[in-house]
Amino acid sequence: MNPLIILSESLRSLQKNKVRTGLSVLGIVIGIAAVITMVAVGEGARRRVEKEIATLGDDWIMISYWGMQRGGARRQQGMPPNFTSDDADAIERECSAVRGATPVNRITMQVVSSYGNYQTNVLGARPKYFDIRRWQMSAGREFNADDMRMLNKVCCIGATVARELFGAVNPVGETVRINRVAFDIVGLLESKGVGSDGRDNDDTVLVPFTSLERYLAGSERSGTLLAAAKQGYDPATARQQIRDLLRQRHRLAEDEDDDFRIFDRSLTMQANAEATRTFNTLLTTIASISLLVGGVGIMNIMLVSVTERTREIGLRMAIGAAGYQVLEQFLCEAVVLCGMGGLFGFILGWLVSKLVSWNYGWDTIISPWMAGLAVAFATLVGVFFGFYPAWRASQLDPIEALRYE
Amino acid sequence: MSDSLIDIVDAWKVYTLGEVQVPAVRGVALKVSRGEFVAITGPSGSGKSTFMHLLGCLDRLSSGTYRFENQPIHQLSKLQLSRLRNRRIGFVFQSFNLLSRTTIVDNVALPLVYQGVKKKDRRRLAAELLERLGLGDRLRHHTNQLSGGQQQRVAIARALITRPAMLLADEPTGNLDTKTSHEIMTLFQQLNRNEGITVVVVTHEAEIAAFAKRHVMFRDGLIVQDVMQATAA
């Protein structure tokens, strides 16, 4: 029989009982809405983690020389004085998966402007640092290789520092005193906000590594390197290359432990992403249970409907409906019910997601494919839960059915 | 090859109730030619209802043969029986069995749904037929807005829509008053006389049976009387 004719027969039957139709659809609507909302929240969380990894530049790899403290005086003595710089050069030269490496030295210091003073992190690094952390300027320029070579007293300051020291005044071109040494501000760093580790990224002053060593660090040596993997390279590969290189350079024997630690933000990020994924799966599973309950509701209402319409079924069979045609009609009714539920459920889920975003400030993402998926999934539920009632209807004996009171 | 519309030979229908075998129809033979108007009567439990179900291809014989328009009904599958009922037999029931909350046009058009006829054509055919039966002014009415007699007319229209070879009515006047009953039976007579449709009416009322040309009486699963008669009205 023509599927359109079946569909119109089903629609007509459903129209007869609008309240019941509406109520049985409601179960599916709620189920689908729950799934859609959870997927939207989950997608939002996943994208946020991805975005953090990609745009906040949280894919750096940090190498710290713990071994210096633990390895005893002899080894420390054997180290050349500028070992972090040499190691950084070597990493950039030899590790194919690394896009850049720089020694860093961080000192907490009082910084004074003509408007006020503020204690912050003063961080010395090579210009590569901006690329490694994917850090852009919102005003002015980065310090560069010339500044490094000339030991220029220049700095780039973070948004928090700018606010504390200059308020609304544009800090570029102004001078600050760091530990009583005057530094020209050449750039204002773009705000990165609070990182996923809870630290305010903008609470920092960046100076050329050489200038820091010369004017500010005194005898304090850098024990840290910062590197980052090339685009498209697995950070794990970069990490392994750095480890192999440093072990070789530090002349460590096979059985000796590393005299450094490699800490990789991408690892925590991956753990983050993993946790988000697990959480999403859990939420979606719970939401799916409500969809299941909705499906059972549909099955129940279809069974009631079949019983209630026994005489109608008997009549249809007497005047020539074959068993399969009765099955098609009732299955189609269940599928139409669920399909509508899927559509309305998607709309409700979309609204709830917006509400969640607006109320809790969570990112939620609704994609067009979710609408298709919702309807398809609801239809599947309809086929699954509608089959048994429809099959029962098709197995009725027309004589018995016509006699049914 | 016989000219009979119905040719039943040694028909048995045996029901199994627990361990007891209950024969409802016990070796009945019946021939009905095209254009006949037959009344089947008998007290309740006489087997007339069972026999009607067999005639209407709703049920199958336990043994014996049934040829309808020369087709061996006893050899057909369930699906083939559905097709046959849809195209060649029109049913009229005691309680009308119309779909509620559905217009009378759509009720009448229902059998055409199972022939895959398009909605527009279905409605046109149904409307034409209802005009002929004097219900042309109520096409968009729902069935619960009609009187019993009107409802039965709608049911008759539904039975006629597929141009069947036989109209099979099971106590068609059982829910109607005497006056309306006579109107309905007169309608059957007209259809039989003017359009040559074979009509088989099952009833327990002698008065209703009197409208038919031929009277077949059942008792205890057997035909005890089969006579031609002068018709009423």
In this prediction, residue A57 has a pLDDT band, given cuts at 50, 70 and 90, of low
In a domain, B90, yes or no: yes
Q: B109: domain CATH number?
A: 3.40.50.300
Residue of chain A with shortest Cα separation from B53 = A399
CB contact under 8 A, A320 and B87: yes
Q: What is the ipTM of this complex?
A: 0.93
The C-alpha of A27 sits at a distance from chain B's nearest C-alpha, in angstroms, of: 26
Residue B25: inside a domain, yes or no?
no
How much is the pLDDT for A17?
Answer: 81
DSSP string, A259-308: SSEEEEHHHHHHHHHHHHHHHHHHHHHHHHHHHHHHHHHHHHHHHHHHHH
- pLDDT at residue A76 above 70? no
Q: Is residue B73 part of a domain?
A: no
Residue A106 pLDDT > 80: yes
Q: Do B114 and A320 touch (CB under 8 A)?
A: yes
Helices (H) and strands (E) in chain A, counts: 15, 10
Contact A353, A36 (CB under 8 A): yes
Find the helix or strand (DSSP H, E) in which A12 lies: helix A3-16
CA B221 – CA B204 distance, rounded (Å): 15
pLDDT at A233: 81
Query: Which tokens go with A278?
Result: 């697990």
pLDDT of residue A61: 86
pLDDT band at A66 (very low <50, low <70, confident <90, very high): low
pLDDT range class, residue A78, cuts 50, 70, 90: very low
SS3 A151: coil
Spatial neighbors of B94 by CB under 8 A, at least 6 apart, are: B170, B171, B172, B174, B175
Task: Give pLDDT tens digits for B106-119.
Answer: 999 999 999 989 88
| pLDDT at position A195 over 80 | no
Report the distance separating Cα B231 and Cα B185, nearest Å. 11
Does the beta-carbon distance from A12 to B106 stay under 8 Å? yes
pLDDT level of residue A58 (50, 70, 90 thresholds): low
pLDDT score of B232: 65
Most confident among A63-67, A361-365, B159-163 (mean pLDDT): B159-163
Q: Compute the average pLDDT of residues A307-322.
A: 93
Query: How far is it, in rounded angstroms, from Cα A103 to Cα A221?
Result: 10
pLDDT of residue A316: 94
pLDDT at residue A153 in the model? 94
Arithmetic mean of pLDDT, A97-118: 90
pLDDT at B162: 94
Maximum pairwise Cα distance, chain A: 105
The mean pLDDT of B69-94, rounded to a whole number, is 94
Confidence of residue B86 (pLDDT cuts 50, 70, 90): very high
- Would you say residue B213 lies in a domain? yes
Q: What is the percent of chain A with per-residue pLDDT over 70, rounded to a whole number?
A: 91
Q: Which residue has the higher pLDDT, A399 or A11?
A: A399
Q: Chain B residues within 8 A (CB-CB) of chain A?
A: 53, 56, 58-59, 78-79, 82-83, 85-87, 91, 93, 97, 99-102, 106, 110-111, 113-116, 119, 158, 162
Radius of gyration of chain A (CA): 34
Report whether pLDDT(A173) > 60: yes
**CA closest to B85 among chain A residues:** A320
Which pLDDT does position A56 carry in this prediction? 55
- pLDDT, tens only, B188-212: 999 999 999 999 999 999 999 999 9
Q: Would you call A316 and B110 a contact, using CB atoms and an 8 Å cutoff?
A: yes
Confidence of residue A69 (pLDDT cuts 50, 70, 90): very low
Interchain pair B56, A1: CB under 8 A: no
C-alpha–C-alpha distance, residues B87 and B10, integer Å: 26
Per-residue confidence (pLDDT) for residue A271, from 0 to 100 = 78
Taking only the tens place, the pLDDT of each residue in A14-36 is: 888 888 888 889 999 999 999 99
C-alpha B100: how far from its chain's center? Answer: 21
pLDDT value at residue A325:
92
Report CB contact under 8 Å: B99, A312: yes
Place of tokens 């220049």: A154
The pLDDT mean for chain B works out to 92
Q: Nearest residue on chain A to B107, judged by CA atoms?
A: A316
How many structural domains comprise chain B? 1
Round the average pLDDT of chain A to a whole number and report it.
86
**Cβ A63 vs Cβ A258: under 8 Å:** no
Q: Which two tokens stand for residue A106?
A: 């961080």
Residue A326 has pLDDT above 90, yes or no: yes
Minimum-distance CB partner of A319 among B53, B85, B119:
B85
Model confidence at A71: pLDDT above 50? no
In a domain, B233, yes or no: no
Q: What is the pLDDT of residue A34?
A: 92
B42 DSSP assignment:
-
Each residue of B108-156: pLDDT tens digit?
Answer: 999 999 998 988 999 999 999 999 988 988 888 998 899 999 999 999 9
pLDDT band at A288 (very low <50, low <70, confident <90, very high): confident
Quick: pLDDT tens for A246-272: 888 888 888 888 888 888 766 677 777
Q: A373 Cβ partners below 8 Å, 6+ apart?
A: none
Indicate the range of A177-181, A228-232, A342-346 predicted with least confidence. Answer: A228-232
CB distance B97–A317 less than 8 Å?
no
User: What is the radius of gyration, based on Cα positions, of chain B?
Assistant: 18
Interface size, chain A vs chain B, as Cβ–Cβ contacts under 8 Å: 63
A-chain residues near B108 (CB < 8 A)? none
B78 inside domain: no
Distance from CA of B160 to the nearest CA of A (A): 11
Integer Cα distance of A312 and A330 in angstroms: 12
Is the pLDDT score of A370 beyond 80?
yes
Given pLDDT bands bounded at 50, 70 and 90, which one contains residue A199? confident
Q: What percent of chain A has pLDDT over 90?
A: 45
Q: For the packed helices A368-394 and A265-308, what is the interaxial angle rounded to 10 degrees?
A: 30
Position B64 scores a pLDDT of 94
Q: Residue B103 domain-assigned?
A: yes
Residue B196: domain span: 34-64+83-228
* CB-CB under 8 Å, A315 with B114: no
Q: Do B59 and A311 touch (CB under 8 A)?
A: no
Q: Is residue B196 part of a domain?
A: yes
Of A204, A109, A123, A125, the residue nearest A161 (C-alpha)? A204
pLDDT at B3 over 80: no
Residue B1 has pLDDT above 70, yes or no: no
A292: left (phi over 0), alpha (psi -120 to 50) or beta: alpha
Residue that has been written with the tokens 């119905």 in this structure? B6
Question: Is A323 within 8 Å of B119 when comparing Cβ atoms?
Answer: no
**In A, what residues contact B, Cβ < 8 A?**
1-2, 5, 8-9, 12, 16, 311-312, 314-325, 398-399, 402
* Chain A CB contacts of B79 below 8 Å: 322-324
Tabulate helix, strand, coil % of chain B (nearest 5): 35, 30, 35
Backbone angles phi, psi at A186, to 5 degrees: -100, -20
What integer is the mean pLDDT of A125-131? 93
Comparing CB atoms, the residue among B53, B86, B119 nearest residue A319 is B86
Residue, of B17 and A76, whose pLDDT is higher: B17
